[in-house]
Chain A
Amino acid sequence: MKYLRLHLVLLALAAVLGGCASKAQQPLELDNALWNERDEVIGIAYVEPPRPFVSMVGNQGLLDLAFNNSMAAGLKRKVDTWDVASFRDVPKQIAEELNSRGYNARVIEQPVLPAQLPRHKAGLGYAGQDYRALKQQHQIDKLVLVSLSQVGTVRSYYSMIPTSDPVAQIGGLAQVIDLDDNRLLHYQPIAASRAAEGEWDEGPDFPNLTNAFYQLLDSTEQQMISPFRRPLISAQHP
């Protein structure tokens, strides 16, 4: 009986703690607050992108990892040369789009460092870090912030055996934050991958996989810019 009560208590505790688990922020379409408040200043910034890297997923032990890393040395050398510098131009392109539509947008030249900002625990619908200090620092009212997370290639393994070809992968996030209250006006997470067209294993340059990566990078950048573009007028049918 004593153990039954203990088990029931533990079960109840697990249920409560499970209910307290944090939920992920869902994507948010661009709020009209950005378009309606034309007199406000919009700052556009980026987070310094990571260097591209080769990711190996799947069931691997330590020895398997060492072996697989050794076998992927040629690809790693090439991925190390991949360059995401074009991502630093995304704020400038967003600013051009906004300014062409009559908004007051300016680029923040230095990358933002979210890790150095305090956490903001207001929950869903608010940015995870507290960006409100940037309002005074840069004299802006709203912040458009773009960032990349995973950049490079991913390949699955079972032990020392590759079970897929490597594909290019990019993870990113585009946010618009109201700096009055840190509320999210737009939240667009991006997770994309792209296979090489044709043979991937053509060292030392891996041209098809390299092209796939740069195509993926470009499409990710365009995805971040497109919500700010003037919408196209579709054909009128008689």
Chain B
Amino acid sequence: MSRALFAGVLLVLAGCASPPALQPQVTQDLLPLLQQQGYAIDVDTSIERLAQARVPGDAQAMLAGGQGASEAGRIGGQAGVAGPGAGVAGALIGSLLVAQINASRIQAETDRQAADLVAPLRQAIAAQGLDFWFTQTLQAELAAGDLGAAQPESPYRLRFEPQAIFGDELDRLHLVTEISLLFGHEVLYRGRIEVIDAAPWPLDSTANLGLQPWLANDAAAYRQVLHGGLREMLQVLLLDMQTGHFAASNSSETTLRYQLGGGRFVERGRLLAQTPERSLFMDMRGWLKSVPLQAAR
């Protein structure tokens, strides 16, 4: 009975796992295909998706919670009254549940802090209909580029799912867009492109300016940075399609370090391209990331 209960709890907790990450996918010769056949466009966006924040999780709290759960399990196992088997099973189930609850609590707190951070910006851009503006701007930029204007009747559907996320110091903006090209149910292209931009004002490392500069003049700075990110995202998308997801690149995985505003960033990836203004690299999942070039050591 205790084994069945234990197995059931494990199954329930396994069901709480997050969905799998996007796997990049590209079919050859997409650009000529879209230029000849045309494409329709879908943009899935909202005010919430266009104003998010990233707050780091608390590793120490996570470990402390886990060790506390481990200790609670040990004490519970020793105090088992129904015999050693049932006592141990109960302690194991209890410690597993406590660990899961602890992790969920930490995540919920992190999410709440992030939402509180950007609440004023969400109010400001909701009043301006920024989600509609984003869709219009995206269509205009596509029409001005190599793909030409969208054609609603085309069977090829180019779908964009953008998110704009502030870094925790509010000194940079990440435009993260998942893009897919569908022909009916067949997926011809799937990719994720992240464009990072620093705030357009000189940064003072001795003061955290907060959200105020982004909100000034009806969020003009926010709109400007978002527009720049959108243009760069489309350029990277075209390059990705042209090169077959950079199939010919032979760069190896390395530690990439870049400076952005007042922060220093480190991640593993492959450097793909570099211009005087920006670097483009592929992370360990095959996602593409474009960052502005500053002194990186």
Interface residues of A, Cβ cutoff 8 Å to B: 57-59, 86, 93, 154-165, 167-168, 193-195, 197-199, 201-202, 205, 207, 210-211, 214-215, 217-219, 222, 232, 234-235
A156 touches B59 (CB 8 A): no
Q: Which residues of A contact B70 (CB under 8 A)?
A: 58-59, 156-158, 163
Q: Is the CB of A194 within 8 A of B59?
A: yes
Q: Is A161 a contact partner of B268 (Cβ separation < 8 A)?
A: no
Partner of B56, one of A164, A197, A232, A235: A197
Residues of chain B lying within 8 A (CB to CB) of residue A167: 59, 62-63
Question: Inside 8 A of A159's CB, which chain B residues have their CB?
Answer: 73, 88, 92
> Could you tell me the distance between the alpha carbons of A202 and B60 in the complex, rounded to whole angstroms?
22
Tally of A-B residue pairs with Cβ under 8 A? 113
- Shortest distance from the beta carbon of A51 to any chain B beta carbon, whole Å: 17
0/1 per residue, B50-84, Cβ < 8 Å to A?
Answer: 00001011111011011101110110000000000
Given contacts A154-B63, A155-B66, contact A210 B268 (CB under 8 A): yes
Residues of B197-211 at the interface with A, using a CB-CB cut-off of 8 Å, are: 204-207
Candidates A163, A194, A235; contact of B98 at CB < 8 Å? A163
User: Is the CB–CB distance between A164 and B206 below 8 Å?
Assistant: no
CB closest residue in chain A, given B18: A199
Q: Is the CB of A202 within 8 A of B63?
A: no
Tell me whether B59 and A163 are in contact (CB under 8 A).
no
Interface pair A214/B56, CB less than 8 Å apart: no
- Contact: B63 with A193, CB < 8 Å? yes
What A residues does B91 contact at CB under 8 A? 158
**Which residues of chain A are within 8 angstroms of B95 by Cβ–Cβ distance?**
158, 161, 163
> Separation in Å of the B128 CB from the closest CB of chain A?
30
Nearest residue, chain B, Cβ from A225: B297
Contact of A232 among B58, B103, B205, B255 (CB under 8 A): B205
Using C-beta atoms within 8 Å of the partner chain, give the interface range for chain B: 35 or more
Chain B interfacial positions (CB closer than 8 Å to A): 17-18, 21, 54, 56-60, 62-63, 65-67, 69-71, 73-74, 88, 91-92, 95-96, 98-99, 102-103, 204-207, 255, 257, 264-268, 283-285, 297
Q: Which residues of A contact B264 (CB under 8 A)?
A: 218, 222
Contact of A211 (CB < 8 Å), options: B58, B65, B204, B284: B284
Cα–Cα distance between A160 and B102 once the two chains are bound (Å): 18
The answer on a CB contact under 8 Å between B267 and A211 is yes
| A-chain residues with CB within 8 Å of residue B96 when the two chains form the complex | 161, 163
A86, A207, A235 — which one has the most chain B CB atoms within 10 A of its CB?
Answer: A207
Expressed in whole angstroms, the Cα–Cα distance for A194 and B92 within the complex equals 26
Which residue of chain A lies nearest to B88 when distances are taken between CB atoms in the complex?
A159
Question: Residues of B contacting A217 with CB < 8 Å?
Answer: 266
- A65 to nearest B CB, angstroms? 14
Question: A198–B284 Cα gap in the complex (Å)?
Answer: 14
Asked if B267 contacts A57 (CB within 8 A), the reply is no
Residues of B contacting A198 with CB < 8 Å?
A: 18
Selected A-B contacts with CB under 8 Å, 15 pairs: A155-B66, A156-B66, A163-B65, A163-B70, A163-B95, A163-B96, A164-B63, A164-B66, A164-B102, A167-B63, A195-B59, A198-B18, A205-B285, A211-B266, A217-B266
Q: Do A235 and B66 form a contact, CB below 8 Å, given A161-B96, A165-B103? A: no
Which of A156, A205, A235 sits near B206, CB closer than 8 Å? A235
Given A163-B96, A211-B268, 10 additional A-B pairs, CB 8 A = A59-B73, A156-B70, A157-B70, A159-B88, A161-B99, A162-B66, A193-B59, A193-B63, A195-B58, A215-B265
In the complex, residue of chain B having the shortest beta-carbon distance to the beta carbon of A194: B59
